[in-house]
Amino acid sequence: MRKFVIMGIQGSGKGTQAKLLADDLDLEHISVGEIFRWNVQHHTKLGAQVRRTVATGRLVGDDVVEAVVRQRLTDHDWNYGFIIDGFPRSARQAEFFLESYDIDGVINLELPDEEVQRRVLARRLCTQCGLDYNLIASRPQVPDVCDVCGGRLAAREDDNPEALAVRVAEYHEQTKPLIEIFQRKEFVASVDATAPVLEVQTAIRTHFELPPRSPGP
């Protein structure tokens, strides 16, 4: 059984790396963000609570996040282990989590702030069909026009340099104490996330002596 925590700022490819690892090693990928989105889409009580909080521009409270994660982990469909993303968020949660779940390691994807800016500010969204584009990695054929529906592409409202700078600062403030706690237990793999996706994946596996990715079909 393998249990990992993955940490990384927006644009670091955290979701992609978690999925690559989870799919291949049969780990359950537990993403707090995805759990919240599912609840919002399905109009659950939790979804309504999340929606209200986000509408006021605040983060969902630690207690709510903790309750959601506890619930998700008691479902226990993770026979081979899990990789969790979006938790823990506070020093207290980190201590509790490490004691309760015997975590194998913490993957910390490192991306310089300038690169975060470059990647996130290159994101575009079709205003008509919602398809994602990225002016670095997946450009539309015609500038500012959706390949699929011809709709106009636009940046998300909160993907502007000022709002992003605030999010980057918040991220560092929130994660620094967590990384310090994890480092005391000496099992943090800090990986350079500027490298190509598969190289980052290989670096993670090498660090934890995991088997290399099985070749595709």
Report, as residue numbers or ranges, the catalytic residues.
Answer: 14, 89, 123, 156, 167
| In the complex, minimum distance from the CB of residue 16 to Zn ion, in angstroms, rounded to a whole number | 22
Query: Which residue in this structure is represented by tokens 């700078």?
Result: 165
The rounded distance, in Å, linking the Cα atoms of 49 and 39 is 10
- Residues 111 and 44: beta-carbon distance below 8 Å: no
Single out the segment in contact with Zn ion by CB under 5 A; choices: 2-10, 116-124, 142-150, 208-216.
142-150
- Between 67 and 149, name the residue whose CB sits nearer to Zn ion: 149
- Beta-sheet pairing, 188-192 with 2-8: unpaired
Q: Does 183 bind Zn ion (CB under 5 A)?
A: no
Residues 6+ apart with CB under 8 A from 120: 10, 11, 159, 164
Q: Which stretch binds Zn ion (CB under 5 A): 32-40, 81-89, 113-121, 146-154?
A: 146-154
Among 69, 98, 125, 146, binds Zn ion (CB under 5 A): 146
Q: How far is the CB of 17 from Zn ion (least distance, A)?
A: 27
- Distance of alpha carbon 127 from alpha carbon 12, whole angstroms: 24
1 counts as binding Zn ion under rule CB under 5 A:
no
Question: Of 48 and 137, which has the nearer Cβ to Zn ion?
Answer: 137
Q: Which is nearer to Zn ion, 131 or 179 (CB)?
A: 131
Is the CB of 131 or the CB of 155 nearer to Zn ion? 131
Q: How far apart are CA 19 and CA 13, in angstroms?
A: 10
Question: Contact between 151 and Zn ion (CB under 5 A)?
Answer: yes
Burial status of residue 217 (CB atoms within 10 A of its CB: 0-12, 13-18, 19 or more): exposed
Question: Can you spell out the DSSP letters for 50-114?
Answer: HHHHHHTTPPPPHHHHHHHHHHHHHH---TTEEEEES---SHHHHHHHHHHH---EEEEEE--HH
Counting contacts by CB under 5 A, is residue 20 touching Zn ion?
A: no
- Reduce the DSSP state of residue 150 to 3 states and report it: coil
CB of 157 to Zn ion, least distance (A): 18
Establish if 149 lies at the interface with Zn ion (CB under 5 A): yes
| Binding track, positions 94-133, relative to Zn ion; x by CB under 5 A | --------------------------------x-xx-x--
Q: Report how far residue 140's alpha carbon sits from residue 9's, in angstroms, rounded to the nearest whole number.
A: 25
Size of the site for Zn ion (CB under 5 A): 8
Where along the sequence are the contacts to Zn ion (CB under 5 A)? 126, 128-129, 131, 146, 148-149, 151
